[in-house]
Amino acid sequence: MPKTSSKCWPASPLAAAERAFELLTCPPAPLDFDARGVTGLPQRRLPLSELRRLLISESTCRPVRDRVWRDVVVRARRDGPAWVITAVGLAMPGLRRTAGRLAAGWHGDTSDVDAELLTGFLDRLRTVDVDEPRICGRLVDAGARAVKSAREWDEDTDIVHIGGAWSVPPHHPWDHPDWVLARAVALAVIDPDEHLLISATRLEDVPLHVVADKIGIGGPLAAAWRRKSERRLAEAIGLGELDWAPHVLPETTRRRRAAHAAVAPRRRRADRAASSTPGHRDPAAPAQQTPVMAGAA
């Protein structure tokens, strides 16, 4: 795949998160939200950009917002990276306001503020109680607390080391494994079933057989799929293919997506048929799988 300038992927953490959110709305398979049955919203599937506008509109009441956020948080936990990015993108107006407020008086790089804000938001996304009101607000508040903790740590460090103050080295939540997997799906390195296998079993410690049942395949076949997709993922990471994700996908990626879309269903049917044969054992299934995502972040 041809490498583009690093300018294709924003250096600012919040800008990078916004770019990832925008990619989810691009053809050929833009992500949307099914608002049918959600009273107070248009009764149709809503593009994410339209959903965000509705969520920040004064005409949308808090119970409706909480209903949407409850669904988004559940999907982020269940369905993986694309919905994690969706959660960040939908909260972006609040995150930007909070980042601007917290940057006042910050003596380091403002990217540090963005990074800590996103880290706190993502950590809280895994544990926030969806049955309580003001879900989005509590997620953004968790990000704000992370920034304040980092600032206190930075100030304590300045006091001890008078002649050598420095800013806190920023975390890189946009290079969190969830984000790496999302870019891999966007660039057709892996497909949605493969990213579910990797994210659920490697990042969430879900047993492989549970994810295999969800996809509708056997355990040995799931292990083989995961092994092959992890090899492709490791190769793409090594080549730097996932360091960027432009608005306009290169021709190589378009061809890869088209080929994947054409071949994958037939390969899936053949694999499933083979795995259902009595006594069959997929020769590609390894005795032990080695995680590749440990070094992705």
- Domain membership of residue 1 (yes or no) is no
User: Would you state the pLDDT for residue 292?
Assistant: 42
- Domain membership of residue 133 (yes or no) is yes
- Domain membership of residue 165 (yes or no) is no
Q: What is the mean pLDDT of residues 120-143?
A: 94
Helix 48-56 × helix 62-79 angle, to 10°: 140
- Domain membership of residue 88 (yes or no) is yes
Residue in this structure with the two tokens 């080695």, named with its chain if needed: 290
Shared-domain flag, residues 59 and 140: yes
> CA–CA separation, 140 vs 94, rounded Å?
7
Shared-domain flag, residues 23 and 131: yes
> CA–CA separation, 214 vs 207, rounded Å?
11
- The per-residue pLDDT for range 202-236, each reduced to its tens digit, is 887 788 888 888 888 888 888 888 888 888 888 87
Which of 131, 160, 189 terminates a domain? The answer is 160
CB-CB neighbours of 241 under 10 Å = 21
Shared-domain flag, residues 24 and 130: yes
User: Would you state the pLDDT for residue 218?
Assistant: 84
- Domain membership of residue 204 (yes or no) is yes
> CA–CA separation, 87 vs 80, rounded Å?
11
Q: Which of 174, 196, 176 has the alpha carbon at shortest distance from 185?
A: 196
Give Dmax (Cα) for the chain.
Answer: 72
Q: Which amino acid is at 288?
A: Q
Please state the domain count of the chain: 2
Quick check: 66 pLDDT over 60? yes
Shared-domain flag, residues 20 and 73: yes
How many Å from the N-terminal Cα to the C-terminal Cα in the chain? 22
> Domain containing 132: what range?
6-160
> CA–CA separation, 18 vs 113, rounded Å?
16
| Model confidence pTM above 0.75 | no
- Domain membership of residue 120 (yes or no) is yes
- The per-residue pLDDT for range 140-195, each reduced to its tens digit, is 999 999 988 877 765 554 444 444 444 444 444 445 677 788 878 877 888 888 88
Q: Which amino acid is at 152?
A: E
Shared-domain flag, residues 126 and 244: no
Q: Which of 194, 203, 268 has the alpha carbon at shortest distance from 226?
A: 194
Shared-domain flag, residues 253 and 154: no
Shared-domain flag, residues 13 and 147: yes
- The per-residue pLDDT for range 222-275, each reduced to its tens digit, is 888 888 888 888 887 877 777 654 433 444 445 555 555 555 555 555 555 555
Question: Buried b vs exposed e over 262-286: b needs ≥16 C-beta within 10 Å?
Answer: eeeeeebeebeeebeeeeeebeebe
